[in-house]
Amino acid sequence: MTGHRLGVWQGTATVLGGVLGPGMLVLPHLAAEAAGPGSVLAWAALLIVSVPVAFTFALLGLRHPDAGGVAHFAGMAAGRWAYAMVGWWFFVAVPIGTLAGGLAGGLYAADAFGWDGPAAAAIACGLLAAAFLTNAAGLRTSGRTQVVMVSLLLAVLTAAVVASLPAVRAERFEPFLPHGIGGVGSAVGVLIFAFVGWEAASHLSADFEGRRLLTATALTLAAVTVIYVSVAVTVVGSGAALSPVPLTAMMATTIGTAAGPVTGVAALVLAFGALNTYLAGASRLGVALAEQRLLPHRFAAPHRILILLGAAIATLGAVTVALPINLDPLLRATSACLGAVMFVGALAAVRLLPGGRMRAVAVAGTALTGVTLALSGIYLLVPAVIALAGFTTRAAHSRRRAPRALTRPTPPTPGAEPCAPPRPLLAPSSTSPRRSVPVEAGATRRGRRPARCE
């Protein structure tokens, strides 16, 4: 329990901060590029999916309040393997998502000053370097700062919508499905990035009094619906969807060239705040995974995890420049990983929530999330490969350590009493007689060491 309790409005802002992110800087363009005007259907479909998913995680938090997030619930429902899988998906998604976030901020800033593509990549590198230095210095984004960031994003989105309303034309919605219904499915695959984050409600429940979390979730759903529908309609109707910096194009319909610097500065601030938050969360998650031997134990320190993340982002960035790869594949790969996390979390809720209406909500959330996740298509290989690589590495590591785990008795000293037979390194779990949990070498089940042989 915490001393400070979140009110309904502050709680709504906090939950909203878990859903909204800098992806909104580029997602309207990418969705419209995939489906044309039909991208409005993709936004609407994901809003429908969000209703049972959002309430599933809110109910899960009320029934099982814990700050461990989806990995904790997956472990409760299915065991250590599910905890590990969710943790790996989250951890690997961070380098991909942070690189995409940095490039989005760099794209807007470069456009604001009329610079070319390499300048956007250079600005992205600067944003990432600043975020790493901030985390290495031990600085963290506070809850109030996150609320300020969300408020700034809301202000930019609202200004863009209001500014572009006079430019909306009905003829821009024809043909409505230029790429067929398959284009709508493709748009859903990239837009998942704008809808992950509902699981944040599950580990905020201890900060709410009573059932205010459900009220905050409902208000967040209402706010997200208004924002996303407004942006989806106006970005297409105003013709701004054709621009890789759609929010700048939307505002330019009213304020002209002044839109570039306004959105450019806002994009830099939003991108930096998001990168700092992502890296801070990933460093904590990485240390936790390393301490549990789900990552190499040598990385069980924040600075080492940051080095690992930095190396991963640098490698991915080099590949992105060499091939080259644009924002669309990066966001789709991240969406596939985070969508898989949400699916496993909703599936865990089916087992953890009691029967009746609560479980019915969880079943609906799981089914709709599964259908949505399937629309990620070939990008489902990303979470599949991550899970396969993780379990294969763990199995190989366990086989290498197995010979050392054998306890070899020390020959007794002449004239001394014989030693007790060596105890196994696995002791029955207190929660299940069929499970075994690791204990320290040489320790007894009650934690006392046997007499030492000399």
The CATH number assigned to the domain holding 205 equals 1.20.1740.10
Q: What gap in Å lies between CA 148 and CA 118, rounded to an integer? A: 30
Residue 183 belongs to some domain of the structure: yes
Measured in degrees and rounded to the nearest 5, phi and psi for residue 422 equal -65, 140
- Given a cut of 90, whether residue 13 has pLDDT beyond it is no
- Given a cut of 50, whether residue 386 has pLDDT beyond it is yes
- Whether residue 330 contacts residue 30, with contact meaning beta carbons closer than 8 Å, is answered with no
- Given a cut of 70, whether residue 362 has pLDDT beyond it is yes
Q: What gap in Å lies between CA 411 and CA 453, rounded to an integer? A: 8
Decide: residue 445, CB within 10 A, 0-12 exposed, 13-18 middle, 19+ buried: exposed
Please give the radius of gyration of the chain, using alpha carbons only, rounded to the nearest integer.
25
Q: How many structural domains comprise the chain? A: 2
Residues 154, 63 within the same domain = yes
CB atoms within 10 A of CB 141: 20
Residues 111, 237 within the same domain = yes
Residues 267, 295 within the same domain = yes
Helix (H) or strand (E) holding 436: strand 436-438
Residues 331, 439 within the same domain = no
Average pLDDT over residues 284-288: 89
Amino acid identity for residue 261 in this structure: P
- Whether residue 436 contacts residue 427, with contact meaning beta carbons closer than 8 Å, is answered with yes
Decide: residue 342, CB within 10 A, 0-12 exposed, 13-18 middle, 19+ buried: buried
Domain-ending residue, one of 351, 368, 396: 396
| Token reading at 278 | 């992502």
Residues 246, 109 within the same domain = yes
CB atoms within 10 A of CB 165: 16
Residue 369 belongs to some domain of the structure: yes
Residue 60 neighbours by CB under 8 Å, 6+ apart: 73, 202, 345, 348, 349, 352, 353, 362
Residues 423, 357 within the same domain = no
Residue 58 belongs to some domain of the structure: yes
Question: What local confidence, expressed as pLDDT, does residue 193 receive?
Answer: 93
Q: What gap in Å lies between CA 161 and CA 170, rounded to an integer? A: 16
- Given a cut of 70, whether residue 171 has pLDDT beyond it is yes
Q: How far is CA 74 from the centre of its chain?
A: 15
Residue 34 belongs to some domain of the structure: yes
Question: What local confidence, expressed as pLDDT, does residue 329 receive?
Answer: 95
Question: What local confidence, expressed as pLDDT, does residue 77 receive?
Answer: 92
Looking up tokens 């993340």, which residue turns up?
A: 309
* Beta bridge partner(s), residue 436: 428
Residues 45, 134 within the same domain = yes
Mean pLDDT of the chain: 84
Residues 159, 42 within the same domain = yes
Residues 342, 440 within the same domain = no
Question: What local confidence, expressed as pLDDT, does residue 142 receive?
Answer: 59
Residues 115, 222 within the same domain = yes
- Given a cut of 90, whether residue 334 has pLDDT beyond it is yes
Helix (H) or strand (E) holding 426: strand 426-428
Residue 403 belongs to some domain of the structure: no
Q: What gap in Å lies between CA 199 and CA 342, rounded to an integer? A: 7
The closest of 307, 321, 298 to 279, measured between CA atoms, is 307
Question: What local confidence, expressed as pLDDT, does residue 110 receive?
Answer: 93
CB atoms within 10 A of CB 78: 16
> What is the distance in angstroms between the CA of the first residue and the CA of the last residue of the chain?
50
Q: What gap in Å lies between CA 126 and CA 103, rounded to an integer? A: 10
Expressed as residue numbers, the domain containing 131 is 8-396
Highest mean pLDDT among 65-74, 264-273, 365-374: 365-374
Report the range of poorest mean pLDDT among 76-90, 131-145, 378-392.
Answer: 131-145
- Whether residue 198 contacts residue 19, with contact meaning beta carbons closer than 8 Å, is answered with yes
What does DSSP assign to residue 208?
A: B
Question: What local confidence, expressed as pLDDT, does residue 321 receive?
Answer: 87
Biggest CA–CA distance in the chain, Å, is 100
Question: What local confidence, expressed as pLDDT, does residue 4 receive?
Answer: 57
- Whether residue 18 contacts residue 198, with contact meaning beta carbons closer than 8 Å, is answered with yes
Looking up tokens 């040598």, which residue turns up?
A: 298
- Given a cut of 50, whether residue 428 has pLDDT beyond it is no
Residues 333, 426 within the same domain = no
pLDDT grade for 427, boundaries at 50, 70 and 90: very low
Q: What gap in Å lies between CA 6 and CA 9, rounded to an integer? A: 8
Residue 405 belongs to some domain of the structure: no
Task: Please tell me the pTM assigned to this model.
Answer: 0.83
- Given a cut of 50, whether residue 383 has pLDDT beyond it is yes
Q: What gap in Å lies between CA 187 and CA 31, rounded to an integer? A: 5
Residues 215, 130 within the same domain = yes
> For residue range 433-452, what is the model confidence (pLDDT) as tens digits?
333 333 333 444 444 444 44
Residue 404 belongs to some domain of the structure: no
- Whether residue 286 contacts residue 295, with contact meaning beta carbons closer than 8 Å, is answered with yes
Average pLDDT over residues 97-122: 90
Measured in degrees and rounded to the nearest 5, phi and psi for residue 428 equal -60, 140
Residue 290 belongs to some domain of the structure: yes
SS3 category, 394: helix
- Given a cut of 50, whether residue 403 has pLDDT beyond it is yes
- Whether residue 84 contacts residue 91, with contact meaning beta carbons closer than 8 Å, is answered with no
Average pLDDT over residues 163-180: 94
